[in-house]
Amino acid sequence: MLRYFGRAAAAATLLLGALPLLLTRPAPLQDWPNHIARIHILVDLLHGSPFWGHYYRLTGFFVPNAALDLGITGLRLAGLPLPLAAQCFLVATYALFVASFLALARAYDASNPAKPCFAVLLFYGNALFWGLVNYVLGLGLLLGLLALWLRAGPRTRLAVAAAGAALLLLAHLVVAVLWIIVLGCHDLHRLRRARLAHCLSWLIALLVVASLLSAMPHGGGLGIGYAGGRFGIAGHKLWLFAKVLLGGSLLQDLTSLAGLLVCIIAVFAGRPSLAPAPALAAAILVLTVLLAPERIGDGSQLDSRLAIAPLLLLAAAVRIRPHPVARIAIPAAVLARTLVLAWAWHASGQEFAQYRGQTASLPSGSLMLMAYGTRLSTLSWQHIWSPPITSIATQLVLHDLFVPTIFAEPGQQPVALDARYTPLKQPWNLSDPVHFRASARALAALCASGAFPHIYLTVLYPGDVAGMAGAALLRPRHDFLLLDACRLPNPQPP
């Protein structure tokens, strides 16, 4: 009886796992509103918009990481409103991720009633909370392709490796590289009992990715940066694994850790075993995280997003016999975490809705710039994530306000920002009187140029900015301020 109850609980957890995605539009993920705004611009450019054509140009969909733009644009052109199209894409990403995870568990002969719960728990991780939806979609696709590859014959495996490399590159470049690494580990293990010609899937995938990349446009630089911080590079790398499921309110993070802890205890209590190939692949993926930089060129969060990959592979491949108590404890812990997450997202969604309400009267054609009122290095984890509002102003693009912080890199997205407006992308520093005056002087010059009919500022983490803004203050709120950039106090130094 307990066994059947556990299966029912796991199925309920799987179905309710989509609940956070259904409660609010847009989902309160750090970069998600930014991506949605770009789709609005993209669709209007496809329709020949003169307004957006002044600021952006189409570069085409033949770029890495184009899956999101292709998917949501397709749904939008099919007639769905943009917020609904974006929500459908998120739900489809969840469905693909979970289905692929379960397929991979079956391919490794590691299925059990706990696996759906593992999939739901790991879907809602730090990578998703940052809004890296292309990357999460790519991970789901990688899991499904690996399941197909494992069940294929020698010749078919080469075809899956090649086609998978092309598909994954369109989903996300980083996942395409992970595909090569994972296939290489499995091929190396197969080499003990198979001919070399049957162990070249990784090489086929590498050649496909390299060929396609060489034909694609390139944008940004190739500079490499490693994050250090207070505890150095080693501390930063350890933190990557510690925060793999974190990114929200204190309650949300606590339930995430609790859910992970329950699953880990259940795994170790269930007499775990792991096949050599996924064990090798997971070890190499951990090493990849440790060696990877934080930033390459314009792309950031590289090592941070990689941290979930070895955990995903281990969770799918590990074979366990869950204790009868674990069959109840695992879905209960994951379901509790999912419900807390749904509540937190709903609350954050209200914050996004309030911003839309407070900016509804701003005239179309205006310029909205971003600023911060507190030094970013002093912000706490909870301050950044409760609520996750770093891209809150990009919602205004849907009302045809120009927000130059929209992601529009020609090497990563189908649209590119006109180089004349690149200097407007960076947030303005209003964190203290000295920086406030410097920013005000620069903004006064921009206002005097007459390039825009109205110029506004959304100030995140406002600090003491309200007291310095004077008549420029339009909307005072705890989490953000709206300022008229052309009415800032006398910018001359004292």
Helix axes 82-107, 115-123, angle to 10 degrees: 140
* Predicted pLDDT at 324: 86
The domain boundary, picked from 315, 344, 373, lies at 344
In a domain, 255, yes or no: yes
The parts of the chain modelled with pLDDT lower than 70 are 1-6, 219-223, 228-231, 297-299, 491-494
Show Cβ contacts of residue 192 under 8 Å, excluding neighbours closer than 6 positions: none
Same domain, residue pair 248 and 281: yes
Residue 337 CA to residue 330 CA, distance in Å, equals 11
**For the chain, what is the domain count?**
2
CA angle 168, 67, 27 (to 5 degrees): 120
In a domain, 493, yes or no: no
Same domain, residue pair 372 and 335: no
In a domain, 421, yes or no: no
Same domain, residue pair 248 and 292: yes
Residue 64 CA to residue 410 CA, distance in Å, equals 10
Q: Which domain holds residue 377?
A: 363-400+427-487
In a domain, 153, yes or no: yes
* Predicted pLDDT at 356: 94
In a domain, 204, yes or no: yes
The token duo for 367 is 């310029």
Same domain, residue pair 93 and 11: yes
Nearest to 94 by CA among 125, 69, 66, 65: 125
Contact 97, 64 (CB under 8 A): no
Q: Following DSSP, what letter does each residue of 63-107 receive, concatenated?
A: STT-HHHHHHHHHHHTT--HHHHHHHHHHHHHHHHHHHHHHHHHH
- Residue in this structure with the two tokens 């009919």, named with its chain if needed: 453
Same domain, residue pair 386 and 313: no
In a domain, 418, yes or no: no
Contact 133, 30 (CB under 8 A): no
What is the number of H-type helices and E-type strands within the chain?
Answer: 21, 9
The domain boundary, picked from 344, 372, 391, lies at 344
Same domain, residue pair 321 and 378: no
Contact 368, 34 (CB under 8 A): no
Contact 129, 389 (CB under 8 A): no
Same domain, residue pair 269 and 376: no
Pairing of strands 480-484, 415-417: unpaired
Same domain, residue pair 9 and 123: yes
In 321-401 the beta strands, taken as DSSP E runs, fall at 367-372
* Predicted pLDDT at 386: 87
Residue 484 bridge partners (DSSP): 456
Same domain, residue pair 297 and 376: no
In a domain, 416, yes or no: no
Same domain, residue pair 340 and 212: yes
* Predicted pLDDT at 298: 65
In a domain, 252, yes or no: yes
The token duo for 165 is 């490399």
Same domain, residue pair 257 and 378: no
Q: Considering Cα of 393, then 398, then 403, then 405, what sign does the dihedral take?
A: positive
Same domain, residue pair 393 and 299: no
